[in-house]
C-alpha cells in the first residue's frame, strides 16, 4: 500500500499532466493565430500525449486502490512574442515535469514502492524524449531564422505528427 503522501503526489502529477495539455493547447492557439497550422497541429498532438500521461497516472493510482482526485488547472500563458518563445517555454515546462518525475522516484525509492518505480521508469525515458524533441525544434527554428521557405518546410513536417499511444496501453 502506498502512503497517503505518495498518493497525494501522484494526484498532483495527474493535475500537472492535465495542466500541461492545457498549456500546449494555448501554445497551439497562438500558432493557429499566426497561421502556423503545422506547429499548431504538433502542439495539439502534444496535448493529447499529456492527457495520455495523466490517464496513465490515473490508472495507476486506481490500480493500487488509491483515490483519484482531480485538481484545479491554472490559466496557461496565451501570449507569445514568437515561435521561438513558444518552444523555449515548452522546453522549460518539460524540464519542470522531469524534475517532478525524479521527485516521485525519490519517494518511491524511500517507500520501497516497487510497482511505482516501473511506471516512473517509463516516464523517465519519456521525459528524455520530450526534452529532446522540444530542444531539436528550438535548434531548427534558430537555424531557419527569417527564411520563410525553411519555416514553411518545418511547419509542413510538424503537421505530419500522429499521436500513437504505446501498443500495450488501452
Nearer to Mg ion, 17 or 155 (CB): 17
Which residue from 15, 41, 44, 53 is in contact with Mg ion, where contact means CB under 5 A?
53
Q: How far is the CB of 51 from Mg ion (least distance, A)?
A: 9
Q: Cβ-closest residue to Mg ion?
A: 53
* Per-residue binder mask for Mg ion (CB under 5 A), 110-139, x = binder: ------------------------------
120 and 108 Cβ atoms separated by less than 8 Å: yes
Q: Establish if 93 lies at the interface with Mg ion (CB under 5 A).
A: no
Nearer to Mg ion, 152 or 163 (CB): 163
| Helix ranges (DSSP H) in the chain | 4-33, 37-63, 83-110, 114-144, 148-158
Q: How far is the CB of 79 from Mg ion (least distance, A)?
A: 23
Q: How far is the CB of 31 from Mg ion (least distance, A)?
A: 19
Q: How far is the CB of 1 from Mg ion (least distance, A)?
A: 26
Burial of 149 (0-12, 13-18, 19+ CB in 10 A): exposed
What is the rounded CA–CA span in Å between residue 98 and residue 116? 16
Nearest to 9 by CA among 94, 96, 92, 101: 101
Q: What is the DSSP letter of 81?
A: S
Q: Find the part of the chain contacting Mg ion (CB under 5 A) among 12-20, 66-74, 105-113, 139-147.
A: 12-20
What is the rounded CA–CA span in Å between residue 19 and residue 57? 14
Binding interface with Mg ion (CB under 5 A): 17, 50, 53
Amino acid at each position: 500500500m502506498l502512503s497517503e503522501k505518495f498518493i497525494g503526489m501522484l494526484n498532483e502529477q495527474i493535475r500537472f499532466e492535465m495542466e500541461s495539455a492545457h498549456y500546449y493547447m494555448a501554445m497551439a492557439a497562438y500558432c493557429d493565430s499566426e497561421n502556423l497550422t503545422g506547429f499548431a497541429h504538433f502542439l495539439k498532438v502534444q496535448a493529447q500525449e499529456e492527457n495520455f500521461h495523466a490517464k496513465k497516472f490515473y490508472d495507476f493510482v486506481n490500480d493500487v486502490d488509491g483515490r483519484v482526485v482531480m485538481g484545479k488547472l491554472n490559466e496557461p500563458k496565451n501570449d507569445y512574442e514568437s515561435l521561438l518563445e513558444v518552444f523555449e517555454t515548452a522546453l522549460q515546462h518539460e524540464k519542470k515535469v522531469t524534475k517532478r518525475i525524479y521527485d516521485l522516484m525519490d519517494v518511491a525509492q524511500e517507500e520501497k514502492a516497487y510497482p511505482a518505480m516501473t511506471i516512473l521508469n517509463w516516464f523517465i525515458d519519456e521525459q528524455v524524449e520530450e526534452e529532446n524533441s522540444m530542444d531539436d525544434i528550438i535548434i531548427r527554428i534558430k537555424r531557419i531564422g527569417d527564411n520563410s521557405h525553411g519555416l514553411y518546410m518545418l511547419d509542413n513536417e510538424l503537421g505530419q505528427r500522429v499521436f500513437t499511444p504505446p501498443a500495450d496501453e488501452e
